[in-house]
Amino acid sequence: MNNHFRYKNLFIFSSLQFIGNIEEYFVHHTEKLVVHIIMPRTNNKYNIVRLYSKGKLVNEKEMWSTQNIFLYYGSWYLQHLYIIFHYFRREEKFYVMSFMPLNFFFGSLQKIFRPQMQFVFFIADFCPAKTISIILFERVKKYYHDHLLYACYLSDILNKIMNGKVVKTKNRKTVMWGVKPKAIRRSANGEKFELLFVGLIKDSQGLEFFYEFLHHNKNCHINILGVCDEVLYAKHQKIIAKYNIREQVYFPNKFFSDTEVVEVSKKCHAGIALYDIGKKHMTYYTEPGKVKFYAELGLPIIMSNVSATAVYVEKFHAGEIVKRDMQSIITAIKKIKKNYASYIAGLKIFNKYFYYENYYRDKFSFLE
């Protein structure tokens, strides 16, 4: 086996949005890699399956999907079965790395037909809500976690929830998102200050508050590169009109590729993530991918004090940790504009620490 390829056969899940360069990393280092890209249910019509062989894309096909919640997850599971039976032979040893317990349903039956298959549960979130459906879902997650040999956790908090303490063994460990810095030139000179927001639009991300902030700070602008359903989009448009800030907000409510995001980011000076804080919010338990993406783009980070990422942003001076109030954000922007070079230097240290090639090689050694 070529030493360049650390891994033999892998089946992973990915996204067209930033997800820690997982796909790119495994493409470069896996002999045979199958990637199932699950599109968000909002405005979704298809998923994607990609087959790579020794670092090259061999085949890509669209797989039917829908916005109907039952058919959405039903088609997801059927596509999972199709992939393990179509792309992997009975005698092949391969790993299936998934963040959704759905893929482990009837795992013993799956392994009758693919006995060399091993599951890896990559636990990326936790929902603190106490509805019956959420309680059942979390119990299912815990059941599969306790019965699978391999597990990764996107944060130490998730690690502790699932194990009662933070564990760091060969087969179970915390794996945060890795970063791959992009070479982009920019400057924070001038009066106009452009901010970037990337990702799926939800109610817990502080955009409504930031619209009010923009109303009082006409020299600031925001570029919102993400999608939401039509009801939520209409709500945002109503608030934008209320504050008379339409000229300060770019929000087309459409999907942007990484290449398109990079182009928009060239005119931006910082990335923003004003998440709700506290244990009743999901972001408390996990790591928001958009923050690492801002770091990759070379954008100083303005974020709430939420998740383990904030600790590293502060430690490496890669941005400012803010409260959701006017003065806190104004102070953060002033600091970044005044000392822009020092934040860029901090981002370089941050990115070196989480550089995906070195970081993942250590964390995913159990797959070799």
Residues pairing with 222 in the sheet: 195, 249
Pick the CATH number of 7-179+356-367 from 1.20.1250.20, 3.30.830.10, 3.40.50.2000, 3.40.1360.10: 3.40.50.2000
Q: Which sign, positive or negative, has the C-alpha torsion 126, 127, 128, 130?
A: negative
> What is the DSSP pairing of strand 30-37 with strand 46-53?
antiparallel
Q: For residues 23-39, give the mean pLDDT.
A: 94
Buried b (16+ CB within 10 A) or exposed e, 220-239: bbbbbbbbbeeeebeebeeb
CB-count burial class (<10 Å; 0-12, 13-18, 19+) for 152: buried
So what's the pLDDT on residue 353? 94
Residues of the chain above pLDDT 90, percent: 74
> Taking the domains of the chain in order of start, what are their residue ranges?
7-179+356-367, 193-353
pLDDT tens column, 148-194: 999 999 999 999 999 999 999 999 999 999 999 987 766 555 678 99
Question: For the chain, what is the mean pLDDT?
Answer: 91
What's residue 43's pLDDT?
A: 64
- Among 66-80, 101-115, 184-198, 215-229, the minimum mean pLDDT is found in 184-198
Are 271 and 293 contacting, i.e. CB atoms less than 8 angstroms apart? yes
In the 8-state DSSP scheme, what is residue 20? Answer: T
Identical fold for domains 7-179+356-367 and 193-353, yes or no, is yes
Superfamily of domain 193-353: Glycogen Phosphorylase B; (3.40.50.2000)
- The string of pLDDT tens digits covering residues 33-91 is 999 998 877 666 889 999 999 999 999 999 998 888 888 899 999 999 999 999 999 99
**pLDDT of 1 above 50:** no
Q: What is the pLDDT of residue 164?
A: 96
DSSP strand pairing (220-225 vs 249-250): parallel
pLDDT of residue 276: 84
Which tokens in the block code for residue 121? 């549960």
Residue scoring higher pLDDT (90 or 290):
90
pLDDT at 273 over 60: yes
Of 14, 41, 25, 17, give the one whose Cα is nearest residue 257: 17
